[in-house]
Amino acid sequence: MCGIVGILGKEPVAPLLVDALRRLEYRGYDSAGVATLEDGRLTRRRAEGKLRNLEARLKDEPLAGTIGIGHTRWATHGRPTERNAHPHATDRLAVVHNGIIENFRELRQRLEAEGDVFETETDTEVVARLVTHEMRKTNDPAAAVAAALPQLHGAFALAFLFDGHEELMIGARKGAPLAVGYGEGEMYLGSDALALAPFTQTISYLDDGDWVVLDRKGAVIRDAFGAKADRPKIRTSAGAFLVDKGNHRHFMAKEIHEQPEVVGRTLAHYLDMANGRVRMPADLPFDWAKLDRITMSACGTAYYAGLVGKYWFERFARIPVEIDVASEFRYREAPLSAAGLSVVISQSGETADTLAGLRYAKEQGQHVLSIVNVPTSTIARESSAAAPTLAGPEIGVASTKAFTCQLAVLACLAIGAGRARGTLDAERERELVAELVKVPGLMADALKHEAAVEHVARDIAKTTDVLFLGRGTNYPLALEGALKLKEISYIHAEGYAAGELKHGPIALIDETMPVVVLAPRDAIFEKTVSNMQEVAARGGRIILIAEETAADEAGLVPAGMIPMAPMAPEFAAIVYAVPAQLLAYYAAVTLGKDVDQPRNLAKSVTVE
Ligand code: F6R
């Protein structure tokens, strides 16, 4: 979950490394560091905390050199101090690492027994010392890396810089992504295409087990067995996206506001609006009509998108859907039938648990359809077929626009599957498509009530616990609303199916705890009204997200009201996501929290 970058350039690289790290900061922001060769000698600067601390450090103590590596960290082994920050170095080399070396204790003991003295608690220092150890035997950096890699268990992407070697950088990849970038007399390594976007759009992704030797003229890639390997050079479009906040204070605000546009763009990709039909991804290697089950797995917000999708697939296409968080799915040895389809959902396409779930399903002989936002990601590349979400880069750590785009794709796929299976006729498909087409406009309407949300959020910011309730597709949205609030405001929140309230959580209700009810007018609206009455009868403080008339109809005077436009219920969850996200956003802003980079989190979770 850390971000790594390496540059063999023509100009001083330290500012370029920092620029690349800024684009990688979403992967972790506990500490950061860079190392370069100044007159052939390894030099490094590191700083605890956000990248701006490293920038300040470099301003006071600049680094020269036209070759260098950089790192932004999400701590796994060892506290996020300067000492534990990467690059880790010996007298021979410096290394940056993304991932976890699982056998680092065993290796450390062995190296200590041979006289090595460790300076940090990190697993990465073991890599630095192990390769240095091998170099003492051969004095050849490439041979040393080749000898060390098979001794490392776990997941890693690594970039090495060697003292005295101005024309050499070595990278390696196993279980964590690493891309090689090609420039004019310059070469690059990076965790993703976005990091390299200012420098080059021509990249090759390393396969698992690959390692690569770079000089300024090019790269020689070898596979895990040491054989030369050809990895295709691709042109990426990552450079086309400007990673800035526009007129917004935070990326999260910008991304919430982008939703009408990006959900519209995603729907346009999957809908033939003129004919009222869904356009399914071409060349799918399976037949929807023959599926007996869908098994979904994903993490966090993407998992909640899948939970909403379950309702749609079961209702429109009559396919049973089983869904798990990927960290459980990967280990529970689920029996998967040959006639089943696995669906994985991921914004980054790099989430370690989701990727492991995908690989498990493939091993069981299933086709895997991934719904991903990063088309060049490992998950997209390893799936049998990928259905893209067209959200563009999501920088705010809390997922917003990727979530609603995932919902848009799931809705389209469920309708298309329904048509293929004969469970939806052309007329119903047209009706559903017409409802989907309205969604971006309804999201834009919901954004107009931002002031009402901000008002309610100020109240929420004074509390320590919040309950979110919803039914049907709004039940997963209640879970998502609670997750958003927890992760960026640090207010404790729980999401519940409204009908579950009386089975336990009702004991929590008192006159202080806000209960946010997501209540679009659907077939079970009356049931949700009954649940609200149960809360009101116990003095609970209801925050109602519903049509303006809903409170009157329910005979309630809510403590807060966020009005929503009338809409058909089928896809209301996509629209109701907007106030749920804004509520979390404004609560966090009111509390002065770091909205885009909440504590302890990282955007791309590439470790278990
Ligand atoms: C929450 C959030 C996370 C991610 C989860 C999966 O706002 O962003 O819960 O949804 O880590 O990440 P992806 O979608 O990249 O697999």
Are 400 and 491 within one domain?
Answer: no
The pLDDT of residue 152: 96
Question: What residue type is 285 in one-letter code?
Answer: P
Is the pLDDT confidence value at 423 over 70?
Answer: yes
CATH number for the domain that contains residue 32: 3.60.20.10
Per-residue pLDDT band at 385 (split at 50, 70, 90): very high
Domain annotation covers residue 246: no
Cβ 30 under 6 angstroms from ligand 1: no
Are 405 and 425 within one domain?
Answer: yes
Query: If you measure from the C-alpha of residue 538 to the centroid of ligand 1, how many angstroms do you get, rounded to a whole number?
Result: 35
Q: Closest by alpha carbon to 203, among 377, 359, 349?
A: 377
Strands 321-325 and 187-190: unpaired
Annotated catalytic residue within 174, 401, 486, 603: 603
Measured from the CA of 604, which atom of ligand 1 is nearest? 15
Cβ 347 under 6 angstroms from ligand 1: yes
Domain end position, chosen among 389, 417, 447: 447
Query: If you measure from the C-alpha of residue 346 to the centroid of ligand 1, how many angstroms do you get, rounded to a whole number?
Result: 7
Is the pLDDT confidence value at 105 over 50?
Answer: yes
Domain annotation covers residue 342: yes
Strands 169-174 and 154-162: antiparallel
Per-residue pLDDT band at 162 (split at 50, 70, 90): very high
Rounded mean pLDDT of the chain?
93
Domain annotation covers residue 495: yes
The model's pLDDT over 250-281, given as tens digits with 9 standing for 90+, comes to: 999 999 999 999 999 999 999 998 899 999 99
The pLDDT of residue 240: 46
Give, using CA atoms, the residue closest to atom 8 of ligand 1.
399
Mutate to test the pocket of ligand 1, among 192, 194, 296, 299 (most ligand atoms within 8 A of CB): 299
The model's pLDDT over 163-188, given as tens digits with 9 standing for 90+, comes to: 999 999 999 999 888 999 999 999 99
Cβ 374 under 6 angstroms from ligand 1: no
Sign of CA dihedral 149, 153, 156, 160: negative
Domain end position, chosen among 432, 447, 462: 447
Domain end position, chosen among 191, 220, 240: 240
Query: If you measure from the C-alpha of residue 466 to the centroid of ligand 1, how many angstroms do you get, rounded to a whole number?
Result: 21
Enter the tokens of residue 450.
């931002």
Mutate to test the pocket of ligand 1, among 297, 301, 358 (most ligand atoms within 8 A of CB): 301
Which positions ≥6 away from 100 have C-beta within 8 Å? 76, 77, 123, 154, 155, 156, 607, 608
d(CA 254, CA 258): 6
Are 455 and 436 within one domain?
Answer: no
Is the pLDDT confidence value at 343 over 70?
Answer: yes
Residues facing 74 on adjacent strands: none
Query: If you measure from the C-alpha of residue 450 to the centroid of ligand 1, how many angstroms do you get, rounded to a whole number?
Result: 24
Residues facing 5 on adjacent strands: 70, 190
Contact 538, 506 (CB under 8 A): yes
Burial class (CB in 10 A: 0-12, 13-18, 19+), 268: middle
Query: If you measure from the C-alpha of residue 152 to the centroid of ligand 1, how many angstroms do you get, rounded to a whole number?
Result: 28
Domain annotation covers residue 411: yes
Per-residue pLDDT band at 90 (split at 50, 70, 90): very high
pTM: 0.81
The pLDDT of residue 239: 54
Query: What is the per-residue burial (b if ≥16 Cβ within 10 Å, else e) of 491-520?
Result: bebbbbbbeebeeeebeebeeebbbbbbbb
Write the CA distances from 63 to 16, 56, 96, 169, integer angstroms: 12, 12, 17, 18
Cβ 399 under 6 angstroms from ligand 1: yes
Measured from the CA of 484, which atom of ligand 1 is nearest? 7
Are 149 and 201 within one domain?
Answer: yes
Give, using CA atoms, the residue closest to atom 7 of ligand 1.
398
Are 452 and 570 within one domain?
Answer: yes
Contact 241, 393 (CB under 8 A): yes
Are 440 and 536 within one domain?
Answer: no
The model's pLDDT over 280-322, given as tens digits with 9 standing for 90+, comes to: 998 899 999 999 999 999 999 999 999 999 999 999 999 999 9
Cβ 540 under 6 angstroms from ligand 1: no
Cβ 302 under 6 angstroms from ligand 1: yes
Are 313 and 396 within one domain?
Answer: yes
Average pLDDT of 582-599?
A: 94
Measured from the CA of 605, which atom of ligand 1 is nearest? 11
Domain annotation covers residue 607: no
Are 392 and 470 within one domain?
Answer: no
Cβ 346 under 6 angstroms from ligand 1: yes
The model's pLDDT over 12-22, given as tens digits with 9 standing for 90+, comes to: 999 999 999 98
Domain annotation covers residue 119: yes
The model's pLDDT over 486-514, given as tens digits with 9 standing for 90+, comes to: 999 999 999 999 999 889 988 999 999 99
Residues facing 295 on adjacent strands: 322, 342
Are 128 and 189 within one domain?
Answer: yes
d(CA 348, CA 376): 10
The pLDDT of residue 367: 97
Query: If you measure from the C-alpha of residue 109 to the centroid of ligand 1, how many angstroms do you get, rounded to a whole number?
Result: 36
Annotated catalytic residue within 2, 299, 405, 412: 2
d(CA 133, CA 127): 10
Domain annotation covers residue 57: yes
The pLDDT of residue 579: 98
CATH number for the domain that contains residue 323: 3.40.50.10490
Count of domains forming the chain: 3
Is the pLDDT confidence value at 593 over 60?
Answer: yes
603 is catalytic: yes
Are 337 and 368 within one domain?
Answer: yes
Query: If you measure from the C-alpha of residue 602 to the centroid of ligand 1, how many angstroms do you get, rounded to a whole number?
Result: 9
Average pLDDT of 436-460?
A: 96
Give, using CA atoms, the residue closest to atom 5 of ligand 1.
300
The pLDDT of residue 537: 86
Domain annotation covers residue 608: no
Q: Which long-range contacts (CB under 8 A, 24 or more apart) does 392-396 make?
A: 392/241, 392/258, 392/262, 393/194, 393/238, 393/241, 393/243, 394/255, 394/347, 394/603, 395/26, 395/243, 395/251, 395/255, 395/596, 395/603, 396/250, 396/251, 396/252, 396/254, 396/255, 396/595, 396/596
Cβ 94 under 6 angstroms from ligand 1: no
The domain of 91 spans: 3-240
2 is catalytic: yes
d(CA 602, CA 608): 13
Contact 114, 153 (CB under 8 A): no
